[in-house]
């Protein structure tokens, strides 16, 4: 369910909504959570890039993939010869709650550029978990399990979060109206507010991200983003992706 606490229409950059709609129609955008998405914006990536990066060791290259080349990729993955998987690049546009983005940006060998709340006003969109995603934490640090809560507790949790979001955004707008700098006013906003950023990553780093963030032990919200990213990885580099899965999802 969407949380919308805006007091006036939010002005989108010219053409922004058109780009999102076009990407979704083309199969290049996957919706995630209540307001988020993963949008594939381009790649210089295919399975042949891995093959040629490996075969250059013997002063050899290929113009197209063969079955033997698929075997080479599986060998490289299995034996963890990682650098041939770095000679490619994927670019994504992502919209996610700030707490998800901060987990994502722990992957420091990747490149990120994020929407700056110093320079523009953030939209009043916050992540409100679905009732089935409200959960309780059981166990000790490093060994948690998460269990669903009863429907009344789930709804009370959602309403409590909604009230905080509405109050925080109202205060944010009041501070801006008083002339307080955006970089100061933003301090009152919860980490559930949505941000947007571009992410550029090679296949080796992406597999490291997927091995950690698509795992059952990852937080549920970032896991959904990782699952969306993996759809595009499998589409663009199917042989490499299959080798990754066959290798117990371990990055080379």
**Residues with catalytic annotation?**
213
Helix axes 47-55, 238-246, angle to 10 degrees: 80
Instruction: Tell me the DSSP string of 6-38.
Output: -SSPPPPPTTHHHHHHHHHHTT-EEEETTTEEE
Q: Are 127 and 33 in contact (CB under 8 A)?
A: yes
Q: Are 134 and 154 in contact (CB under 8 A)?
A: yes
Distance CA(212)–CA(206), nearest Å, equals: 10
Tokens 């650098």, residue located: 83
Distance CA(132)–CA(177), nearest Å, equals: 38
């Amino acid at each position: 369910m969407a949380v919308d606490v805006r007091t006036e229409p939010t002005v989108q950059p010219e053409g922004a909504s058109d780009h999102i709609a076009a990407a979704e129609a083309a199969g290049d955008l996957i919706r995630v959570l209540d307001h988020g998405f993963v949008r594939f914006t381009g790649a210089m990536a295919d399975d042949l890039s891995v093959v040629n990066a490996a075969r250059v060791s013997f002063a050899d290259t290929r113009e197209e993939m063969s079955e033997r080349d698929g075997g080479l990729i599986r060998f490289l993955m299995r034996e963890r010869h990682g650098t041939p998987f770095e000679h490619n690049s994927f670019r994504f546009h992502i919209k996610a709650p700030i707490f998800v983005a901060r987990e994502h940006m722990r992957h420091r060998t990747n490149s990120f550029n994020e929407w700056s709340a110093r320079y523009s006003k953030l939209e009043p969109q916050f992540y409100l978990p679905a009732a089935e995603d409200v959960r309780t934490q059981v166990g000790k640090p490093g060994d948690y399990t998460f269990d669903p809560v009863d429907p009344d507790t789930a709804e009370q949790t959602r309403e409590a979060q909604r009230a905080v979001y509405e109050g925080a955004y109202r205060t944010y707008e009041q501070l801006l109206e008083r002339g307080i700098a955006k970089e100061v006013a933003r301090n009152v906003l919860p980490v559930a507010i949505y941000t947007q950023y571009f992410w550029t990553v090679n296949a080796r780093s992406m597999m490291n991200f997927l091995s950690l963030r698509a795992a059952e032990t990852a937080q549920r919200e970032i896991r959904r983003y990782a699952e969306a990213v993996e759809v595009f990885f499998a589409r663009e580099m199917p042989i490499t992706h299959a080798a990754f899965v066959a290798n117990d999802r371990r990055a080379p």
